[in-house]
Amino acid sequence: MRMPTFEDFRIKTLGECRYPSPLNFPESLYESDDVRIRYAAEIPAETGMPDDISFEKAGPRQKIFFDPAETKAAIVTCGGISPGLNDVIRAIVMQLYYKYGVQHILGIQYGYKGLNPANWLEPVKLTPESVEGIHELGGTVLGSSRGQEDPAVMVNTLEKLGINILFCIGGDGTLRGAHVIAQEVEKRGLPISIIGLPKTIDNDIGYVAKTFGFDTAVAEAHEALQCAHVEARGAQNGIGLVKVMGRDSGFIAANATLANLDVNYTLIPEVPFDLHGKGAFLDVLEQRLKKRHHAVIVVAEGAGQEFFEGADEKDASGNILHKDIGVFLRDEITKYFKSKQMPITIKYIDPSYMIRSIPANASDSIFCAHLGRNAVHAAMAGKTDMIVGRWHDLFTHVPIPITTSSRKKISPDSFLWLSVLESTGQPVSMKSQS
């Protein structure tokens, strides 16, 4: 993968900002396009990372591109549901309506399908009254779907509806879809802003420190791990096994481990392990049970996929459908100890869909509100083909192409993984030594 350059982080704009902002803030509260947020807080010489890599800082601008009285915005939510979707929708609507005076806001139903007239999904009008209490609900009031539609058809719909701004809320596939819409808009020379808001429980969006829904997922996974620990302690040689979301990255598993000091083994996609052999996972687990008579294991859904055979299937968004590592581990653990004639009691917990469907917790609600407001600031200033992210606890503008160029993963050499190893006491490596 090539090293990113300063140009990779340059934000596209629709043109000159000629309208004064209606926000009436003191001058000190507005941001300038010249203010940058450095990518690296620490730059070891051996990394080769250029020290000029930086993000444009998010926030309100003194001059804006769109005339609020003539502006029409739309919001679309795509992909799997996540805590905080309704919080973001509400924040966008409230900011547009009350702060910028944008009166015409539409909700696109069921993802990008709602931008294809062939699907017969009429947009719904969004007002402060219609979104007033939606942050107390899980899911998305607009509905969602996976998969892409023809960008030419979607842009035709935007033109027909008179849309000036489209907010696309979703994960990697959604953002790729937003980029092709932005490309089609640019090809036609249309003044339409395309703004993404990164949504993935897995927290694996590149060049973004955290995505909404992640804090809620960690909190709920923590609850599941507490239950697993109680179950494990309640039986001789008891094992509590919890599977959490994390298709390519183990951030939920790692952070839930650190929030729950009773986890003994954390298995993530970034750190391969073996099942059989001296020093492999089952051998290590056996030694643990002989010594302590119970164990708690958390596994990310994307871990251990090398144990499965067969062609990889994909969902409508192009994501690989992983095999069920949780059920596989449960069965392998059961077989292993049966062969050893060592009785165990194993309890398997998979809270994945419960986590996805609940309302956001307080931390995520605050974060979602910030994301929504900053997305509106960026859109009204004519920014496009970008997402709102956060880096070094500051909100940033990130071009969509660079953020979808790679998945964020846990480095086995990182402080985060070191903390997991210290918390669990598990070996640095559980690869077979024989």
94 and 39 in a common domain: yes
Structure confidence at residue 37 (pLDDT): 93
Structure confidence at residue 198 (pLDDT): 94
Q: How many CB atoms lie within 10 A of CB 144?
A: 24
- Residue 281 is assigned to a structural domain of this protein: yes
pLDDT tens string 359-376:
999 999 999 999 999 999
200 and 130 in a common domain: yes
236 and 368 in a common domain: no
Q: How many CB atoms lie within 10 A of CB 68?
A: 17
> Is 174 one of the annotated binding-site residues?
yes
- Residue 88 is assigned to a structural domain of this protein: yes
The answer to whether 264 and 298 are in contact (CB under 8 A) is: no
pTM: 0.92
> Is 11 one of the annotated binding-site residues?
no
Just list the catalytic residues. 202
> Is 207 one of the annotated binding-site residues?
no
Orientation angle between helical segments 214-233 and 362-380, nearest 10 degrees: 160
- Residue 434 is assigned to a structural domain of this protein: no
> Is 301 one of the annotated binding-site residues?
yes
162 and 240 in a common domain: no
Q: Which residue has the higher pLDDT, 3 or 133?
A: 133
Question: Is residue 47 pLDDT above 60, yes or no?
Answer: no
Q: Which residues contact 430 (CB under 8 A, 6 or more apart)?
A: 273, 274, 279, 280, 281, 284
The answer to whether 346 and 237 are in contact (CB under 8 A) is: no
pLDDT tens string 143-180:
999 888 999 999 999 999 999 999 999 999 999 999 99
Least confident piece of the model among 44-48, 192-196, 410-414: 44-48
Question: Is residue 1 pLDDT above 60, yes or no?
Answer: no
369 and 237 in a common domain: no
Question: Is residue 9 pLDDT above 80, yes or no?
Answer: yes
Q: What is the mean pLDDT of the chain?
A: 93
The answer to whether 128 and 98 are in contact (CB under 8 A) is: yes
Q: Which pair of tokens denotes residue 229?
A: 């620990």
- Residue 429 is assigned to a structural domain of this protein: no
Summarize the confidence of residues 225-235 as an average pLDDT: 95
DSSP states of 381-416: TTEESEEEEEETTEEEEEEHHHHTSSB----TTSHH
> Is 127 one of the annotated binding-site residues?
no
Summarize the confidence of residues 51-65 as an average pLDDT: 92
224 and 311 in a common domain: yes
Q: Which residue has the higher pLDDT, 45 or 184?
A: 184
Helix (H, G, I), strand (E, B) or coil at 39: coil
Q: Which pair of tokens denotes residue 149?
A: 């539609």
111 and 188 in a common domain: yes
| H/E run at residue 300 | strand 294-300
Q: How many CB atoms lie within 10 A of CB 367?
A: 24
pLDDT tens string 263-310:
999 999 999 999 999 999 999 999 999 999 999 999 999 999 999 986
Q: Which residues contact 318 (CB under 8 A, 6 or more apart)?
A: 173
Q: How far is 347 from 345, CA to CA, in rounded Å? A: 7
> Is 304 one of the annotated binding-site residues?
no
Structure confidence at residue 413 (pLDDT): 94
Q: How far is 298 from 254, CA to CA, in rounded Å? A: 9
Helix (H, G, I), strand (E, B) or coil at 10: coil
pLDDT tens string 313-365:
666 556 666 789 999 999 999 999 999 999 999 999 999 888 888 999 999 99
Structure confidence at residue 223 (pLDDT): 94
Helix (H, G, I), strand (E, B) or coil at 332: helix
**In total, how many domains does the chain have?**
2
CATH of the domain at 190: 3.40.50.450
Q: Which pair of tokens denotes residue 238?
A: 């008891």
308 and 171 in a common domain: no
- Residue 191 is assigned to a structural domain of this protein: yes
Name the amino acid, one letter, at 432: S
The answer to whether 104 and 219 are in contact (CB under 8 A) is: no
269 and 339 in a common domain: yes
Q: Give the residue numbers spanning the domain of 161.
A: 6-212+360-403
10 and 150 in a common domain: yes
Q: In the block, which residue shows the tokens 């900002």?
A: 17
Structure confidence at residue 46 (pLDDT): 57
Least confident piece of the model among 1-15, 23-37, 262-276: 1-15
Summarize the confidence of residues 191-211 as an average pLDDT: 94
> Is 105 one of the annotated binding-site residues?
no
> Is 387 one of the annotated binding-site residues?
no
306 and 284 in a common domain: yes
Question: Is residue 193 pLDDT above 90, yes or no?
Answer: yes
> Is 173 one of the annotated binding-site residues?
yes
| H/E run at residue 330 | helix 325-339
> Is 354 one of the annotated binding-site residues?
yes
> Is 355 one of the annotated binding-site residues?
yes
Question: Is residue 389 pLDDT above 80, yes or no?
Answer: yes
Summarize the confidence of residues 411-420 as an average pLDDT: 96
- Residue 336 is assigned to a structural domain of this protein: yes
- Residue 1 is assigned to a structural domain of this protein: no
| H/E run at residue 266 | strand 265-267
- Residue 228 is assigned to a structural domain of this protein: yes
Q: How far is 128 from 23, CA to CA, in rounded Å? A: 18
Determine whether 98 is exposed, middle or buried from the number of CB atoms within 10 Å of its CB (0-12, 13-18, 19+): exposed
Structure confidence at residue 321 (pLDDT): 67
Confidence of residue 31 (pLDDT cuts 50, 70, 90): very high
Q: How many CB atoms lie within 10 A of CB 340?
A: 12
| H/E run at residue 63 | strand 63-64
Q: First CA to last CA across the chain, in angstroms?
A: 34
CATH of the domain at 300: 3.40.50.460
> Is 48 one of the annotated binding-site residues?
no
pLDDT tens string 80-124:
999 999 999 999 999 999 999 999 999 999 999 999 999 999 999
119 and 188 in a common domain: yes
Length of the chain as a residue count = 434
Q: How far is 246 from 244, CA to CA, in rounded Å? A: 7
> Is 382 one of the annotated binding-site residues?
no
> Is 81 one of the annotated binding-site residues?
no
Least confident piece of the model among 19-28, 119-128, 242-251, 351-360: 351-360
The answer to whether 172 and 407 are in contact (CB under 8 A) is: yes
> Is 202 one of the annotated binding-site residues?
yes
DSSP states of 132-156: TTGGGSSS-TT----S---HHHHHH
